[in-house]
Structures are given as structure tokens and as C-alpha cells.
């Protein structure tokens, strides 16, 4: 039985939902490492699922949907993904790369022939296959590659995902997006309805066992709206997880803001929390105070989680202003009248400090 897993990466927001014709994994939204290990197969031990996914060929389709040096990161991320896949054991013959290829030797590139995906990083461009570049990076070619339809290919290497029923497919699409649409360096754009129809076709063909789709773009959540049938338990669970995650983020943001106002006043509070010290000065005078105030907040307001790490400067500024643990506890208790439950509880996740 085949399955598709969809990972949506928003700018500033990470939400994960999954559609599956197979298993039902509670907490899939937090299990990206296991999905990755499942894709790469058995590594020195058993796969952590009842299904053995170690057989079959691993395929990957990598797409940078933009061009221009100002969009450097899209092609850099695709090149980096290629290097990771090769390190993970995939063969070039099973990796299809779409990139405009106007970055490495762009006149603005201070390191000609080199692409990096982090400051002072290593070259990730070397060895990347140029299957579809320039004007061959099109929606039609992407769909033809995914469906394994060589006759529909125009230009490029002609490489397609010629997968079988036991194979596993990874798709990574990095680009700009809008509601219901993804960019391409050539017109037309990629529209949600068309992508969903192609995915349904691929599913109906029975030519994969699992498919993982990483989509990094603004408004990426709108692309897969309607992929799962109404009433699907997986869709209901994904929506529930999304609402819980967003509610938690709003709770953390509003709680920190309110604590600032309770401690310093309505006007002064935001200024204190958002203050940035001059370059060369440490974030906080007393690191012990920072840890104490973080733990105090989580005692009354629940876990900060990874999302809440962005408020560390605010907690540092509260320390630098001379606020004591008792004052922080009092303000936190007033700001958080109810203790969060479930996965966002500090009792469930543990304390961050």
C-alpha cells in the first residue's frame, strides 16, 4: 500500500501535515527524522515501523523554482539537498535536479563556480547534475518527470522518475509562493489544482510505496488544501495539530507581551522587551537569572518550545532590568490564568532551563 507524506515549510512558520493511504502514525508532525530514515532505508538496524521500507529504489526530485542572484538561497538549498542525498546513498541516476543554474557563475558571485548554503560554508554546487536548467525548468517537465513520462519531456537530460510499486520518492520544492500557486523561473506558474491532479495520477498508477514531499514557500499550506478527502481521519488529525500549534504560539507571544506590560507598564513594556544592546555587549548580565526567569515563565505558562526561543532576548532584558524571580512569578501567574495541557505543557516537555 502506498503513502504520501507532505511537509510544509513556511517562512517563520513550520507546519506539518500528512496524507496517507497506509499507516496512521500519531505525532507524525514531530517525526521528520524517522521519515527521513525510512526514506534512506535500513542503516545498521531495523526500520522503526512494522513495514519494511528498506527494499525498492530511492528516487529524488529537487526543484529550485526561481532564478536571479537575489534568489540565491533556493538553488543553494537544492544543491545542499543533493549533497545530503548522495551522502545518504542515492545514486545520480535516481536524482533529478531542476535549477536555472544562473548563480554559480553569476557576475555578482564573489566565489565563481561555488555555491554555499550558509556563511563560510563549503561548496555545495560541485557535482550537482544539471538535468533541467534555464528555460527547461518548467511545470510541464516537472510533472512529466514525476509521472515518469519521457515522451512529454522538452529539453533537459530526459531523466524521469521511472519508479515501481516498491520504490520511494522524495520531492523537495524550494521557491516563492502565493495562495494556491508556486513560482517557476519560466511561465506559467505551478497551480495547486494541477499539482494535486498529478499527485493523484501518480498515486493511482501504483508506482511508489511512499512519497515524501517537502515544500518550502510562502502560503505553502494552501497548495495541498483538498488533497485529503473530507472526513479523512488523517486530515482531521492534521488540522487539529495545526490549530494546537498555532494556539500555542499565540499563547506564548501574548503571554510574554503581557508580562512585559505588567512588569514595566503598557508603554514601557514593549520597549524593554525589544531592546537590543550595542554590539560587543553580552546578551544578559546574569545567565543564572535568565535560566531562572525562563523556568519561572514555563512553570506558570507552559513550555516555550522551539518557537518560543525567539523571546530569549525579552527574558534577558527583564533580567537586565533587575526583575527578581518573585516578581516574574507574580507577573507570569497573572498573565497565564490557565496552565497549558498536552504536548505544550512544561510538565510534558520538561523545562527549557
| Tens-place pLDDT, residues 72-125 | 999 999 999 999 999 999 999 999 999 999 999 999 999 999 999 999 899 999
3-228: what CATH class?
alpha beta
* CA 317-318-321 angle, 5° bins: 85
Which fold does the domain 250-349 belong to in CATH? Answer: Topoisomerase I; Chain A, domain 4 (1.10.132)
Q: Of residues 154 and 16, which shows the higher confidence score?
A: 154
Q: What percent of the chain has pLDDT over 70?
A: 81
Active site includes 218? yes
Which listed residue (74, 80, 218, 311) is catalytic?
218
Q: Which of 29, 168, 176, 311 is catalytic?
A: 176
Task: Residue 147: name the closest of 162, 167, 132 by CA.
Answer: 162
**pLDDT averaged over every residue in the chain:** 85
pLDDT tens digits along 258-300: 999 999 999 999 999 999 999 999 999 999 999 999 999 999 9
Of 212, 173, 221, 170, which is closest to residue 15 (Cα–Cα)? 221
User: Can 3-228 and 250-349 be said to share one CATH topology?
Assistant: no
Q: Which residue is associated with the grid cell 529504489? A: 57
Domain boundaries, the chain: 3-228, 250-349
74 in catalytic set: no
pLDDT computed for residue 233 by the predictor:
83
Q: In 3-state terms, what secondary structure has residue 90?
A: coil
Is the full-model pTM beyond 0.85?
Answer: no
Least confident of 74-83, 170-179, 339-348: 339-348
> 110 burial class (0-12, 13-18, 19+ CB within 10 angstroms)?
exposed
Segment 211-236, tens digit of pLDDT: 999 998 888 878 887 766 677 787 78
- Report which of 185, 88, 176 is spatially closest to residue 133, judged by C-alpha positions: 185
Amino acid at each position: 500500500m502506498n503513502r504520501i507524506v507532505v511537509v510544509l515549510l513556511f517562512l517563520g512558520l513550520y507546519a506539518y501535515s500528512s496524507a496517507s493511504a497506509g499507516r496512521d502514525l500519531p505525532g507524525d508532525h514531530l517525526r521528520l527524522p524517522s521519515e527521513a530514515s525510512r526514506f534512506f532505508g535500513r542503516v545498521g538496524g531495523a526500520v522503526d515501523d512494522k513495514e519494511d521500507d528498506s527494499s525498492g529504489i530511492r528516487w529524488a526530485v529537487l526543484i529550485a523554482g526561481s532564478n536571479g542572484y537575489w534568489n540565491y538561497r533556493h538553488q543553494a538549498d537544492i544543491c545542499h539537498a543533493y549533497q545530503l542525498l548522495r551522502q545518504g546513498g542515492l545514486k545520480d541516476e535516481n536524482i533529478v535536479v531542476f535549477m536555472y543554474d544562473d548563480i554559480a557563475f553569476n557576475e555578482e558571485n564573489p566565489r565563481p563556480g561555488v555555491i554555499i548554503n550558509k556563511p563560510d560554508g563549503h561548496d555545495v554546487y560541485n557535482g550537482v547534475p544539471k538535468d533541467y536548467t534555464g528555460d527547461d525548468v518548467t511545470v510541464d517537465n516537472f510533472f512529466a518527470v514525476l509521472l515518469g513520462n519521457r515522451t512529454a519531456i522538452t529539453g533537459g537530460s530526459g531523466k524521469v522518475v521511472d519508479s515501481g510499486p516498491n520504490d520511494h520518492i522524495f520531492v523537495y520544492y524550494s521557491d516563492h509562493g502565493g495562495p494556491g500557486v508556486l513560482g517557476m523561473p519560466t511561465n506559467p506558474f505551478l497551480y495547486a489544482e494541477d499539482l494535486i491532479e498529478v499527485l493523484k495520477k501518480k498515486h493511482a498508477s501504483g508506482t511508489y510505496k511512499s512519497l515524501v514531499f517537502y515544500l518550502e514557500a510562502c502560503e505553502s499550506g494552501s497548495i495541498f488544501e483538498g488533497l485529503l478527502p473530507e472526513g479523512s481521519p488523517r486530515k482531521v488529525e492534521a488540522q487539529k495539530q495545526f490549530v494546537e500549534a498555532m494556539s500555542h504560539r499565540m499563547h506564548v507571544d501574548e503571554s510574554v507581551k503581557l508580562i512585559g506590560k505588567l512588569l514595566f507598564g503598557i508603554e514601557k513594556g514593549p520597549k524593554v522587551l525589544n531592546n537590543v544592546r550595542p554590539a560587543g555587549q553580552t546578551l544578559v548580565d546574569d545567565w543564572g537569572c535568565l535560566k531562572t526567569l525562563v523556568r519561572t515563565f514555563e512553570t506558570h505558562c507552559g513550555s516555550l518550545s522551539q518557537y518560543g526561543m525567539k523571546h530569549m532576548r525579552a527574558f534577558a532584558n527583564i533580567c537586565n532590568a533587575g526583575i527578581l524571580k518573585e516578581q516574574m512569578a507574580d507577573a507570569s501567574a497573572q498573565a497565564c490564568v490557565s496552565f497549558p495541557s498536552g504536548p505544550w505543557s512544561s510538565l510534558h516537555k520538561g523545562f527549557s532551563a
